[in-house]
């Protein structure tokens, strides 16, 4: 028995000391499942966006694709927030494009630069709450990921800057980056127009002499659209015009150079079509369509020298009814008196009446009766100097500050001849800063008219005088948390204005205009302190006005 136990013990001890069994290696392939990790592929862009202020990353998806395939989804944009969409390809992908569409299929913004990553931003408003975001693999094959983030309005410029995201001011789509001289031509045009412009569409349009190439566009209420068309070198000359939904021509490009441009403004939603036709040869044309912020229709429409066309205006009325409607709209302003006698304006022969104005600041409203339509109103003094000018559909409003004077009011019809009458509303006060700088005062008053609604002639009374003796001026702008500040600078003798707002090392806004620059800055969660730098190509005097 002892020998049996010892034998069993030896067997057990030997078994315990034996080496462990080696697992059998799989001899057949098997499916392990799983998806491409979108977050990992998009990590560099997401991290940079977070550092700049974006939040709430949400992957849309990722998968392996070949050229021409795409991935997309509908996205809801929160009110008063901005959407950041990011797409990125793997190592074998060379070009990715990113698009955002509305429910009707109209493209809102895109990034079509030849890169392996793409990013776009858009804000609500002006864009709708529901959009479709799509990323397309253009060149190469491999992994492609798409994701979205949310951005506060006061951080969207910083986010767009670090990612080179399309959709913000003059950022373009990247599709026409190789077009020689295009970006410089656009920058020069935007400077002459002034203000802020957001690209809404860029495309290369094929042209045939006997075929009219068409591009649809729309103007939201209170906005303007700038259309810039640049033909390729092999196209000798082009004609550009716009029509409304009935097919009626509302504007023709009149730029004397090879390039053509149109600025269309509307107080109500307007849908139209742009036509481009070459005179002789075939080729391509770069078409760039940009949109202004809400309220700028009333500002730009005052500068007839820019070639602005007012479209979508209210229905024309007989002159007496148009005057009654104006009186009702301006019932809260000082009483009006006639500014010269009523007249009749033609296209070839403008209507001219003698006028007299008092010292201080004055608001002059020129009212047109049916069937006149669009017209330009200009006030000249006795020395032949143009004191004020504006373009109108039913009403054109001019602001005139300075000493008392005499001169003439000239009204030129742009569409059809018709009757007109003018009325003056004098200010109760005459701030010295406005009287001494009449051109700047008129420009600031026009800006206030656009952002506030009807204003009295001395509405810019709180404006401060500036002198840019060396063409430069620096100052700070504080914005308390939960508030917004608007700042406007208007040149009197100073011209070629550029305003840059910096927050630390980040450029929060960069604006340019020949005579006026204006910006609205908001602070949501925390107060903001910005450094402002104002430059003038031609040194001189100006006015600055800040308001909540």
CATH number, domain with residue 384: 2.60.120.380
3-state class (DSSP) for residue 530: strand
Task: Answer yes or no: is 173 within a domain.
Answer: no
Task: Answer yes or no: is 33 within a domain.
Answer: no
Whether residues 327 and 215 share a domain: the answer is no
Q: Which residues contact residue 504 at a Cβ distance below 8 angstroms, ignoring those fewer than 6 apart?
A: none
Q: Is the pTM value of this prediction over 0.75?
A: no
Whether residues 443 and 470 share a domain: the answer is no
Rounded CA-CA distance 448/442 in Å is 10
Structural domain count of the chain? 4
Rounded CA-CA distance 318/327 in Å is 14
Rounded CA-CA distance 499/195 in Å is 10
Whether residues 291 and 213 share a domain: the answer is yes
Q: Which tokens is 187 given?
A: 């920058």
pLDDT at 12: 41
**Interhelix angle 38-52/156-163, nearest 10 degrees:** 130
Q: Which residues contact residue 32 at a Cβ distance below 8 angstroms, ignoring those fewer than 6 apart?
A: none
Q: How far is CA 402 from CA 228, 338, 352, 426, in A?
A: 37, 19, 22, 12
Residue with tokens 């080729």: 283
Task: Answer yes or no: is 15 within a domain.
Answer: no
> What is the longest distance spanned by two Cα atoms in the chain?
140
Whether residues 48 and 125 share a domain: the answer is yes
Neighbours of 496 (CB within 10 A): 17
Q: Domain residues for 225?
A: 182-311
Task: Answer yes or no: is 458 within a domain.
Answer: no
Whether residues 477 and 396 share a domain: the answer is no
Q: Which residues contact residue 257 at a Cβ distance below 8 angstroms, ignoring those fewer than 6 apart?
A: none
Whether residues 123 and 237 share a domain: the answer is no
Q: Which residues contact residue 117 at a Cβ distance below 8 angstroms, ignoring those fewer than 6 apart?
A: 45, 86, 87, 88, 89, 96
Rounded CA-CA distance 223/521 in Å is 19
Whether residues 437 and 501 share a domain: the answer is no
Whether residues 44 and 137 share a domain: the answer is yes
Whether residues 284 and 338 share a domain: the answer is no
Task: Answer yes or no: is 169 within a domain.
Answer: no
Q: Which of 250, 278, 311 is the last residue of a domain?
A: 311
Rounded CA-CA distance 516/223 in Å is 17
Rounded CA-CA distance 351/244 in Å is 28
CB of 531 closer than 8 Å to CB of 537 = no
Whether residues 109 and 46 share a domain: the answer is yes
Q: Which of 105, 132, 163 is the last residue of a domain?
A: 163
Task: Answer yes or no: is 13 within a domain.
Answer: no
Task: Answer yes or no: is 66 within a domain.
Answer: yes
CB of 259 closer than 8 Å to CB of 231 = yes
Whether residues 412 and 472 share a domain: the answer is no
Whether residues 268 and 288 share a domain: the answer is yes
The residue among 140, 142, 89 whose CA lies nearest residue 111 is: 89
Q: Which of 311, 331, 355 is the last residue of a domain?
A: 311
Task: Answer yes or no: is 457 within a domain.
Answer: no
Angle at 97 between CA 94 and CA 99, to 5 degrees: 170
Q: How far is CA 330 from CA 287, 337, 363, in A?
A: 40, 13, 11
What tens-digit pLDDT sequence spans the chain (548 residues)? 444 444 444 434 444 455 555 556 667 887 776 778 899 999 999 999 999 999 999 999 999 999 889 999 999 999 889 999 999 999 999 999 999 988 777 778 888 888 899 999 998 877 888 999 999 998 889 999 999 999 998 888 889 989 989 887 545 555 555 576 787 788 778 777 766 777 777 788 899 887 889 988 888 877 788 899 988 888 878 889 898 888 878 888 865 578 888 888 876 778 889 999 888 788 888 898 888 776 565 555 544 444 566 565 545 789 999 899 889 889 889 889 999 889 999 888 899 999 999 999 999 999 999 888 778 899 999 999 999 988 777 788 899 999 999 999 999 987 789 999 999 999 877 788 899 999 999 888 888 887 777 888 888 888 888 888 877 888 888 888 878 888 888 888 888 888 888 888 777 777 777 788 888 788 877 888 888 888 888 888 898 888 76
């Amino acid at each position: 028995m002892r020998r049996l136990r010892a034998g069993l013990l030896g067997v057990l001890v030997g078994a315990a000391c034996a080496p462990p069994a080696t697992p059998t290696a799989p001899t057949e392939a098997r499916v392990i499942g799983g998806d491409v990790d979108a977050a990992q592929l998009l990590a560099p862009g997401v991290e940079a966006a977070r550092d700049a202020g974006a939040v709430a990353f949400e992957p849309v998806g990722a998968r392996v694709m070949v050229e021409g395939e795409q991935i997309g989804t509908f996205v809801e944009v929160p009110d008063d927030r901005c959407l950041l969409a990011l797409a990125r390809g793997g190592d074998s992908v060379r070009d990715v494009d990113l698009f955002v569409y509305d429910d009707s299929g109209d493209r809102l913004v895109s990034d079509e630069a030849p890169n392996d990553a793409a990013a776009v931003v858009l804000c609500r408003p002006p864009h709708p709450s529901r959009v479709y975001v799509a990323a397309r693999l253009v060149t190469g094959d491999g992994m492609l990921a798409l994701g979205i983030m949310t951005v506060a309005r006061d951080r969207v410029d910083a986010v767009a800057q670090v990612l080179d995201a399309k959709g913000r001011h003059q950022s373009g789509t990247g599709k026409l980056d190789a077009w020689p001289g295009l970006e410089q031509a656009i920058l020069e045009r935007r400077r002459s127009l002034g203000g802020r412009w957001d690209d809404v569409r860029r495309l290369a349009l094929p042209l045939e002499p006997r075929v009219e190439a068409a591009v649809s566009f729309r103007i939201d209420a209170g906005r303007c659209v700038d259309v810039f068309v640049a033909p390729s070198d092999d196209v000798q000359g082009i004609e550009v015009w716009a029509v409304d939904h009935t097919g009626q021509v509302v504007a023709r490009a009149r730029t004397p150079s090879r390039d053509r441009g149109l600025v269309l403004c509307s107080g109500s939603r307007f849908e139209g079509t742009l036509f481009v036709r070459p005179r002789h040869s075939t080729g391509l044309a770069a078409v760039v369509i940009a949109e202004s912020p809400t309220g700028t229709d009333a500002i730009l429409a005052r500068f007839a020298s820019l070639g602005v066309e007012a479209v979508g205006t209210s229905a024309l009325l007989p002159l007496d009814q148009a005057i009654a409607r104006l009186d009702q709209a301006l019932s809260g302003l000082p009483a009006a008196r006639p500014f010269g006698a009523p007249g009749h304006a033609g296209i070839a022969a403008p209507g001219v009446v003698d006028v007299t104005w008092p010292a201080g600041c004055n608001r002059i409203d020129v009212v047109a009766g049916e069937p006149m339509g669009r017209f330009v109103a200009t006030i000249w003094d006795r020395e032949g100097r143009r004191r004020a000018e504006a373009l109108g559909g039913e009403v054109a409003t001019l602001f005139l500050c300075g000493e008392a004077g005499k001169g003439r009011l000239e009204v030129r019809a742009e569409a059809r001849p018709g009757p007109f009458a003018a009325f003056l509303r004098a200010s109760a006060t005459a701030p010295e800063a406005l009287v001494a700088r009449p051109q700047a005062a008129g420009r600031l008053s026009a800006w206030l008219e656009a952002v506030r609604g009807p204003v009295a002639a001395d509405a810019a009374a709180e404006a401060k005088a500036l002198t840019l003796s060396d063409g430069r001026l620096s100052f700070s702008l504080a914005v308390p948390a939960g508030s917004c500040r608007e700042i406007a600078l208007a040149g009197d003798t100073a011209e070629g204005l550029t305003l840059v707002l910096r927050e630390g090392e980040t450029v929060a806004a960069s604006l340019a205009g020949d005579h006026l620059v204006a910006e609205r800055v908001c602070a949501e969660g925390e107060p903001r302190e910005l450094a402002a730098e104002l430059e003038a190509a031609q040194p001189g005097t100006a006015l600055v006005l800040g308001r909540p």
